[in-house]
Amino acid sequence: MKKSFNVKRAKVLSTHFKIYWKLLLFFLIFWTILSLILVVVPISIGKFGQQIALIGTGILEDASESSHGSGPLMSISNFLRNGLFGGPGVVFFSIFLLTLISIVFNKEIHRGQVSSWLTSQASRNQIFMSKIGFIFILITIVFIPSFLIAIITSSTAYDAEQHLGGVVMDGFLFLLFIYFIGIVFICINLWLSEKSFLAIIITSIIVFYIFVTWLMTMIYDLSGFEFLKNAKYFSPLSLTPSSLAFDANHKTIVKVWTVDSRTFTLILSNHLAPNKGFLITSPFMFIGLTSAIIFGGSWMFKRKDFRI
């Protein structure tokens, strides 16, 4: 029985890959190139002729008489939190998700293509789980290169020993968050399969809300505007606790060195440790919620009248 289920599921998956591989390739190349630009290029820009990659935030001081000054160093965590693992990342993967849902579910339903699946030997539950698996696999394939870029780049940072684990954890939680909103979008589109335009409006509002509340939270972190203080409590992305938060008001001198009679001082912002309880429980929360919604989506798919 189990072998039969796996064979049928594999057939659905292989068929979808043959049809949609070009779409996968487009999003994969686009996101990988964008990841390289967001992570690798900025940290290649030095300060005072010194190349220092940081995961955290910090400044470099040049105490020489000829060019005395200081300036902030490029931070990998800023580009991750405000790019790949932040609002822009959510918008990109939401577009990818909605594109996949549109062709894997909506298009097949409206054109009657789903009928060939439903009249085959595979059960509705097998078909639904295979389609969910296909979408999640594609999301993972597109995400992995950018995740590896972030890890490899971070491993070369001065403070990699302290914060590389935080990069891995933030990326893992972000991927779980994308899975979560993905199954939410799928269920909304199934529920409103006969009203696709309304489904698009609702999912677009959700994406817009996630992005705006994330943006408000980021602005508060950067500027300290009091009226945005509580924005994080309304942001769905706050459910993914970051291990890469730093206190710019409290810094520590970590290194002093001299090059050609020029004295440099590296000063790093203190790390703000996340709530360990929340950090540990959040993955299980996302896995539990995603699994529950998948179960609900399967129940809906099995009872949906597709007018075969």
DSSP letter (8 states) at residue 239? G
> Minimal CA–CA distance to 167: which of 186, 150, 191, 185?
150
DSSP string, 231-248: GGGG-GGGGS--S-EEEE
The 10s digit of each residue's pLDDT in 171-198 is: 999 999 999 999 999 999 888 878 888 9
Residue 127 C-alpha from the chain's centroid:
27
pLDDT score of 6: 57
The 10s digit of each residue's pLDDT in 1-44 is: 445 545 555 666 677 777 788 888 999 999 999 999 888 776 76
What's the number of domains the chain is made of? 1
Instruction: Let me know if residue 252 belongs to a domain.
Output: no
182: number of Cβ within 10 Å = 23
Instruction: Let me know if residue 36 belongs to a domain.
Output: yes
> Minimal CA–CA distance to 210: which of 105, 51, 89, 124?
89
Residue 145 belongs to domain spanning: 2-51+76-238+281-303
Model confidence, pTM: 0.88
